[in-house]
Chain A
Amino acid sequence: MSTEQAEKNVELQKDLFQPAEKQALQSDTISRPSLNFWQDAWLRLKGNKGAIVGLILILLLSFMAIFGPSMNKYTYKEQNIAHAKLPPKIPALANIEWLPFDGKDKDGFDMYKAKNVKEAYWFGTDELGRDLWTRAWYGTRISIYIGLLAAIIDFFIGIAYGGISGFYGGRVDNIMQRVIEILMGIPHLIVVILFILVFEPGIFSITMAMVITGWVNMARIVRGQFLKLKGQEFVLASRTLGASGNRLIWKHLMPNVMGPIIVTTMFTIPSAIFTEAFLSFIGLGIRPPEASLGSLVNDGFKSLQVYPHMLIIPSVIISLLILSFNLLADGLRDALDPKMRK
Chain B
Amino acid sequence: MAKFVFKRLIYMVITLLIIATLTFFLMKLLPGSPLKNQEKLSPAQQEIILDKYGLNDPLPVQYVHYMANLFKGDLGLSFQYDNRPVSTMIGERIGPSAYLGFQAVVFGTIVGIILGLLAAIRQNSLLDYAATTVAVLGISIPSFVFAGLLQYYFAVKYPIFPVAAWEGFEYTVLPTIALSVFVIATVARYMRSELLEVLSSDYIMLARAKGISSFDIMVKHALRNALIPIITLLGPLAVNIMTGSLVIENIFGIPGIGQQFVRSIMTNDFTVIMGVTLFYSVLFIVVVFIVDILYGVIDPRIRLSGGKK
Chain A residues at the B interface, C-beta cutoff of 8 Å: 50, 181-182, 185-187, 189-190, 193-194, 197-198, 270, 274, 277-278, 281-284, 294, 297-298, 300-301, 304-305, 308, 311-312, 315, 318-319, 322-323, 326-327, 330, 341-342
Contacts and interface: CB of A to CB of B under 8 A. Distances in A.
A301 B30 contact: no
Contacts of A283: 262, 265-266
Contacts of B250: 282
19 contacts: A187-B239, A187-B281, A187-B284, A193-B265, A194-B26, A197-B265, A197-B270, A278-B144, A278-B243, A282-B246, A300-B148, A301-B251, A304-B152, A305-B156, A318-B145, A322-B140, A323-B137, A326-B139, A327-B136
A326 B136 contact: yes
Interface stretch (B11-19, B33-41, B59-67, B120-128): B11-19
B4 interface: no
Interface of B: 11-12, 14-15, 18-19, 22-23, 26, 29-30, 136-137, 139-142, 144-145, 148-149, 151-152, 156, 190, 193, 239, 242-243, 246-247, 250-251, 262, 265-266, 270, 273, 277, 280-281, 284-285, 288
A72 to B, nearest CB: 25
A295 to B, nearest CB: 11
A178 B145 CA distance: 37
Nearest to A326: B140
B26 A186 contact: no
A304 B154 CA distance: 13
B182 to A, nearest CB: 10
B145 A193 contact: no
Nearest to B148: A311
Contacts of B285: 185
A206 to B, nearest CB: 15
B14 A182 contact: yes
A187 B238 CA distance: 11
Contact of A190 (B11, B142, B193, B280): B280
Given A198-B29, A301-B148, A315-B145, A281 B136 contact: no
A190 B18 CA distance: 13
A96 B246 CA distance: 39
Nearest to B29: A198
Nearest to A200: B31
A110 to B, nearest CB: 21
Given A319-B142, A342-B190, 5 more contacts: A185-B12, A190-B281, A282-B262, A304-B152, A323-B137
Given A283-B265, A318-B145, A270 B140 contact: yes
* Shortest beta-carbon contacts, A-B, top 4: A185-B15, A323-B140, A315-B145, A322-B140
B243 A197 contact: no
B148 A315 contact: yes
Contacts of B277: 190, 193-194
B142 A274 contact: yes
A270 to B, nearest CB: 7
Contacts of A326: 136, 139-140
A182 B22 contact: no
Contacts of A198: 26, 29-30
Contacts of B288: 185
Nearest to B197: A342
Nearest to A181: B11
B248 to A, nearest CB: 11
A253 to B, nearest CB: 22
Contacts of B29: 198
A186 B282 CA distance: 9
Contacts of B136: 50, 323, 326-327, 330
A190 B285 CA distance: 12
A322 to B, nearest CB: 4
A318 B265 CA distance: 24
Nearest to A341: B193
B265 A297 contact: no
A181 B23 CA distance: 19
Contacts of B265: 193, 197, 282-284
B280 A187 contact: yes
Contact of B11 (A182, A270, A298, A323): A182
A280 B11 CA distance: 32
